[in-house]
Structure 1
Amino acid sequence: MRAQAFGQAVFVRDGAHIREIQDINDALTFMGAWPTSRRGPIYDSALRACHAAQVGQLHADGASDAIRAFARSVGILEQTPVAIDPWVIAAQVLRGAPI
């Protein structure tokens, strides 16, 4: 497990891509790149939470919750992708095939 990893990754829309934020370092990188003109009180709170988690004053999941709240407030929060095992897809394809 990565140092200061989130219990559950946060997924955000970053332009045309979905970005996965897995830990404090990812979160700080993401927040640092956020446009200055779009920063506000919720951004400031999330950034403070990340810095507090970085120095051990807050659990990493507290910072994760703050990042998730920030992303939701600016409309970029994405749902956690659902992983499907390849055998499930193969079983569904084969089920409809004649024997």
Structure 2
Amino acid sequence: MHTMYLSAVLCVIVCGSVSQAGLIASHPDELIVSSPQYEFQYSVHDSHTGDVKDQFEHRRGEYVTGRYSLIDADGLRRIVDYSSDPLLGFIAQVRREPISIITHH
């Protein structure tokens, strides 16, 4: 499970870097600038260590939206919804909820 998670994160970092560059080339002399676009998500639920978290994000050009959640040290789940665009900049809304709500869903 841990290796799979690290692989997914590595892919996100590499794929995100390539997407952000926005360059497509079938031949080195033929570079085409494109608008960055990607989607990713992952989830970890390790009952042995108590590591529980997830994230998703999608980007279309300069517009990014996403959400991530994790269990804080005090036992509450932190959920962050975020977006970023050229007009409003980066906006994050953070909320926290008891773990008992998670088990009822």
TM-score under structure 1 normalisation?
0.28
Q: Which has the higher contact order (CA 8 A, sep 6+)?
A: 1
